[in-house]
A and B are shown apart, each in its own frame.
Chain A
Amino acid sequence: MKLQARDVVIHHRRQRYGDMLLAVDGVTLDIAEGEFVAIVGPSGCGKTTFLNAVDGLLPLTSGALTLNGRQIDRPGHDRGMVFQQPSLLPWRTVMGNVLYGVELIGIPKEEARSRAKRFVELVGLEGFAESYPLELSGGMQQRVNLARALAVDPEILLLDEPFAALDAQTRETMQQELLRIWNETRKTAVFITHDIVEGVYLADRVIVFTARPGRVKEILKVDIPRPRDLRVKRDQRFLEIETRIWESIREEAARDTLAATA
């Protein structure tokens, strides 16, 4: 067993309101070695909060998070985060950005460079190693973001809606690219998204979160064989799973609206 969450409760500090918001309320789940899991849920359901806790950026109120049996209580390079915003250092080149994480974990210069180079190539940016982030398109920036996370060779890859800000065509290209890259590295991956199709297309299992506070509502297995072409999005089985999740999330969104207007 790779990542284990047991009864995870997280309060989110809201400076502006001067209170603690219950964001995640008792999440229990297991993610296996080499598995690709997507977490979907209505917006504001605490899925990003949960992922930040897995990365060690947020403290738990109660419960336990373990990665390969080790307690998670701070960030570490056994986890690699791909952020929603590319969050690239604008004064560093593509190569420099991919090197950033590798440098921070103290890998000798020579090895760091060859490693960074390998991942720049893996994400398909070899012609752009010396370009600066502001010269790249949104999709290419996210490729760098992904390469930076992969280059530290984490045990688990955490992806926080990395394609949410991209246009529809680029997003599909990137989904396909992510599967190609994942297929080569076979990293355990947790992918947060509010896009149901994206979650089903990418994942082995889709975990549906309830509306806030976030709990696990249901877990669906995506029994669609890999490698998956973008065409599987039109398959009968795909649509069935997608519809099932869609209904589940509609229910939650409706509940959220009722609660908000009550």
Chain B
Amino acid sequence: MADRAEKPIKYDTIQSHPTGTIFDTVQNYPTEMVATGPLPTRVQHDNPLVITSPLPEQSWFRRHEALVIGMSAVVVFFALWQAVGSARVVSRLFLPAPSDVIESFGEIVRDGELAQDLAFSGTEFAIGYLGATLTAIPLGLLLGWYPRVRYALDPFVTFLYATPRIVLLPLFIIWFGIGMESKIAVIFLGAFFAILINTTAGVRNLDSHLIRVARSFGARDLVIFRTIALPGSVPFILTGLRLGIGHALIGVVVGELVAAPHGIGRMMAIAGATFQSSKVFVGLFIIAGTGMLMTYALARLERHFDAWRPQR
């Protein structure tokens, strides 16, 4: 405190601020150190009321704590698994070790089986998921914005959303055959409703104050839609897209389990039926990896759109 008393803040500098105003708070700046020992280095700001000093240095470990602990846990898990597998406590048929899974992965990469299955499943997924995105977002915006459209379509949306879409697969196989088309239909429907329902919720949860502001400036419906409804529901739309990935992947695997000429799901079904459990694990990791990768990409996108949210 003694140090502070020696260097009092000069209040006469407040008047010399260019606008002649005193800012009511300075919460925009993260820290103000209250000195108990020697004063930390002060950083000069335009506003004489803003006094900041750099945060104390944090160790590398503290800064990357979440990543380090998470990675370690995964490494430990795989090490344990490998140990159990190598010890052959249980039969390899029953529980292959990670090394067996990698070996099996190498095999199907070499004989070209994997490439064909990946291409097949990937095409289904891409068409189904993109199709769902392109149709569900506009329709969801419409449903959220116009109550009457919602009243009309609500029974159907509720019916189809409450039903696991996979039960429609027998019908789709009759209609579209066992090729790609029936799987695309299931994937599409799975992702479609997750995206649709979240987009609708986004529009319905818009801050009515913002709509009033737009109206007050004389904005017409279409302008309010573009400037308030669309940007305002982006977080919800992204949530829908994220949930949609899971639904779409279920469509890929289950659809192909039932009947398909190729695909990761079919590969897993055949491997399972013939007790090639390490190959089943390969399929599992491919599906899980795809899901994680896409979720990560969407999380990045969310962060981009969320730049306005204060950092936690």
A91-B231 CB under 8 A given contacts A121-B19, A139-B25, A140-B24: yes
The minimal Cβ–Cβ distance linking A56 to chain B, given in whole angstroms, is 8
Instruction: Verify A137–B27 contact, CB threshold 8 A.
Output: yes
Q: Mark A102-146, 1 if CB is under 8 A from B, else 0.
A: 001100000000000000010010111001111111011000000
Among A87, A105, A174, point to the contact of B212 (Cβ < 8 A). A87
* Chain A residues near B46 (CB-CB < 8 A): 127
| Cβ of A173 under 8 Å from chain B | yes
The minimal Cβ–Cβ distance linking B204 to chain A, given in whole angstroms, is 16
Q: Mark A47-61, 1 if CB is under 8 A from B, else 0.
A: 000000001110000
Instruction: Verify B47–A83 contact, CB threshold 8 A.
Output: no
Cα-based distance from A87 to B28 in the complex (angstroms) = 19
The minimal Cβ–Cβ distance linking A57 to chain B, given in whole angstroms, is 6
| Cβ of A226 under 8 Å from chain B | no
Among A55, A90, A124, point to the contact of B23 (Cβ < 8 A). A124
Instruction: Verify B214–A104 contact, CB threshold 8 A.
Output: yes
Instruction: Verify A83–B209 contact, CB threshold 8 A.
Output: yes
Instruction: Verify A104–B21 contact, CB threshold 8 A.
Output: no
| Cβ of B308 under 8 Å from chain A | yes
| Cβ of B217 under 8 Å from chain A | yes
Among A57, A124, A128, A137, point to the contact of B215 (Cβ < 8 A). A57
Interface residues on B, range: 20 to 34
| Cβ of B219 under 8 Å from chain A | yes
Q: Mark A142-158, 1 if CB is under 8 A from B, else 0.
A: 00000010001000000
| Cβ of A74 under 8 Å from chain B | yes
Cα-based distance from A211 to B47 in the complex (angstroms) = 45
A173-B22 CB under 8 A given contacts A104-B218, A134-B308: yes
Instruction: Verify A75–B28 contact, CB threshold 8 A.
Output: no
Cα-based distance from A139 to B23 in the complex (angstroms) = 9
Instruction: Verify B310–A135 contact, CB threshold 8 A.
Output: yes
**CB nearest neighbor in B for A97:** B213
**CB nearest neighbor in A for B224:** A104
Give the tally of cross-chain contacts (CB within 8 A). 93
A177-B21 CB under 8 A given contacts A55-B216, A152-B217: yes
Q: Which of A56-83 contact B (CB under 8 A)?
A: 56-57, 74-77, 79, 81, 83
Cα-based distance from A79 to B216 in the complex (angstroms) = 8
Among A76, A124, A166, point to the contact of B218 (Cβ < 8 A). A76
* Chain B residues near A134 (CB-CB < 8 A): 308-310
Instruction: Verify A75–B310 contact, CB threshold 8 A.
Output: no
Among B207, B213, B218, point to the contact of A105 (Cβ < 8 A). B218
Q: Mark B213-236, 1 if CB is under 8 A from A, else 0.
A: 111111100010001100110100
* Chain B residues near A79 (CB-CB < 8 A): 216
| Cβ of B210 under 8 Å from chain A | yes
* Chain A residues near B210 (CB-CB < 8 A): 87, 89
Cα-based distance from A101 to B19 in the complex (angstroms) = 24
**CB nearest neighbor in A for B24:** A139
Q: Which of B22-42 contact A (CB under 8 A)?
A: 22-25, 27-28
Cα-based distance from A238 to B157 in the complex (angstroms) = 63
* Chain A residues near B217 (CB-CB < 8 A): 75, 77, 100-101, 104-105, 152
A77-B218 CB under 8 A given contacts A90-B308, A124-B23, A137-B24: yes
The minimal Cβ–Cβ distance linking B13 to chain A, given in whole angstroms, is 16
| Cβ of A43 under 8 Å from chain B | no
**CB nearest neighbor in B for A74:** B218
Instruction: Verify A57–B216 contact, CB threshold 8 A.
Output: yes
Cα-based distance from A142 to B228 in the complex (angstroms) = 20
* Chain B residues near A133 (CB-CB < 8 A): 308
* Chain A residues near B24 (CB-CB < 8 A): 137, 139-140, 166, 169-170, 173-174
A131-B28 CB under 8 A given contacts A91-B308, A105-B217, A126-B19: yes
A87-B308 CB under 8 A given contacts A100-B217, A104-B223, A137-B25: no
Can you list 27 A-B contacts with CB-CB less than 8 angstroms, sorted by A residue number?
A74-B218, A75-B215, A75-B218, A77-B218, A81-B213, A83-B209, A83-B212, A83-B213, A85-B209, A87-B212, A90-B308, A90-B309, A91-B231, A91-B234, A91-B305, A104-B214, A104-B223, A104-B227, A124-B23, A126-B19, A131-B28, A136-B27, A137-B24, A139-B25, A140-B25, A169-B24, A170-B25
Please name 15 further chain A to chain B contacts, defined as beta carbons within 8 Å, in addition to the given A56-B216, A140-B25, sorted by A numbering.
Answer: A55-B216, A57-B212, A57-B215, A81-B216, A83-B213, A83-B216, A87-B207, A89-B227, A131-B28, A132-B307, A133-B308, A137-B27, A139-B24, A139-B25, A140-B23
Taking Cβ atoms with an 8 Å cutoff, the residues of A that contact B are 55-57, 74-77, 79, 81, 83, 85, 87, 89-93, 100-101, 104-105, 121, 124, 126-128, 131-137, 139-140, 148, 152, 166, 169-170, 173-174, 177
4 A-B pairs with least C-beta separation: A139-B24, A137-B25, A124-B21, A132-B308
